[in-house]
């Protein structure tokens, strides 16, 4: 019998923080029809004519702030995750790591599995909450590539794990070292999405953004909604920490462009909390399973400085799951499940 394949896929990272590599990364990322979901002509004009030329030098500077002796933190931790999952699963499994954008590519990882004669493939996009622009994009590309094989192995996907018990426990335990009781408020800051992408996931057409607090509670209508799954992740972590609903806020960062994105925006929440006299904020970013630009710079540096300028004192990031043994066990369980 052949080995069981396990493909772990994260978003991606430039090969280096230099402008040329950042430009390649942003071009591939933003030209994805699921990321900027407008017609191909307008997407090409926007991405290649406006966003990439102007953002690449700025984004390059940000990547240089977080790049260290191990290179990209996202890739570094993702490699460790894959190696530890392989170690725990043993020789019956063939584990590969891929990035949706840039390297190692999904194509190269699948080709290694094909050459290894795997009898099945379990694909685990490393995004706890489902979004068409992340998990959906990974699943689509894997299906497109494997569909060209002469012999197609049994293939399955984990489309989300927003309520995974071990993941929830890991985030809650990571916060303990910062003494959460010494902070005035807790933020769960998720990566943002355009509102139109949430609306596309509402197949009823009369629920998303039409009902008050439509994302607050997970139900049959919104169970595949990125925002609703994010609220559910935040609620579960908060329960582990014995937080009341008034103790925390769910918000969304990393907005691009002027159209409406999922709200409230993290920057607006920082202003509101500062006005209320809050001084110390503890911030989770549970859309990420490995620390990256959005956690190590956007929250740790940008939001900290922004909050201090508003009169606050400190914004403390709770680190991501990275190489925590409990999260590795969660991945192992998903691979076997």
Instruction: Return binding residues for Fe(2+).
Output: 191, 294
Residue 217 phi/psi, 5-degree rounding, is: -125, 135
Residue keyed to tokens 């933003």: 30
Which candidate, 150, 161, 176, 148, places its Cα nearest to that of 122?
A: 161
Q: How far is CA 238 from CA 116, 206, 252, 298, in A?
A: 43, 29, 17, 22
User: Checking phi first, is residue 311 left (phi over 0); if not, alpha (psi -120 to 50) or beta?
Assistant: left
CA separation for the pair 243, 240 (Å, rounded): 8
For residues 242 and 255, is the Cβ–Cβ distance under 8 A? Answer: no
**Tokens representing residue 244 in the block:** 């009341």
Known binding residues are: 191, 294
């Amino acid at each position: 019998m052949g080995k069981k394949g396990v493909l772990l896929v994260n978003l991606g990272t430039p090969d280096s923080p230099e402008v040329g590599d950042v430009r390649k990364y942003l071009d591939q990322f933003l030209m994805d029809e699921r990321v900027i979901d407008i017609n191909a002509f307008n997407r090409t004009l926007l991405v290649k004519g406006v966003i990439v030329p102007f953002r690449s030098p700025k984004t390059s500077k940000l990547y240089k702030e977080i790049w260290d002796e191990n290179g990209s933190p996202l890739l570094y931790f993702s490699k460790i995750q894959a190696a530890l999952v392989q170690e725990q699963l043993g020789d019956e499994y063939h584990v590969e790591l891929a990035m949706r954008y840039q390297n190692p590519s999904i194509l190269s990882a699948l080709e290694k599995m094909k050459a290894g004669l795997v009898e099945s493939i379990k694909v685990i996009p490393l995004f706890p909450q489902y979004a068409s622009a992340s998990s959906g994009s990974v699943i689509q590309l894997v299906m497109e590539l494997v569909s060209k094989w002469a012999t197609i192995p049994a293939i399955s996907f984990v489309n989300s794990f927003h309520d995974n018990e071990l993941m929830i426990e890991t985030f809650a335990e990571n916060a303990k070292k910062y003494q959460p009781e010494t902070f005035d408020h807790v933020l769960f800051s998720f990566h943002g999405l355009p509102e139109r992408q949430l609306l596309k996931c509402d197949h009823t057409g009369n629920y998303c953004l039409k009902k008050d607090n439509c994302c607050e509670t997970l139900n049959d209508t919104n169970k595949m909604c990125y925002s609703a799954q994010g609220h559910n992740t935040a609620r579960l972590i908060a329960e582990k920490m014995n937080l009341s609903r008034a103790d925390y806020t769910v918000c969304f960062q990393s907005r691009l462009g002027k159209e409406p994105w999922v709200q409230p925006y993290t920057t607006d929440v920082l202003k509101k909390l500062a006005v209320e006299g809050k001084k110390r904020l503890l911030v989770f970013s549970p859309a990420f399973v490995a620390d990256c630009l959005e956690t190590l710079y956007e929250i740790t540096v940008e939001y900290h400085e922004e909050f201090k300028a508003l009169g606050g004192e400190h914004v403390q990031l709770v680190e991501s799951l990275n190489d925590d043994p409990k999260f590795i066990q969660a991945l192992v369980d998903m691979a076997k499940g």
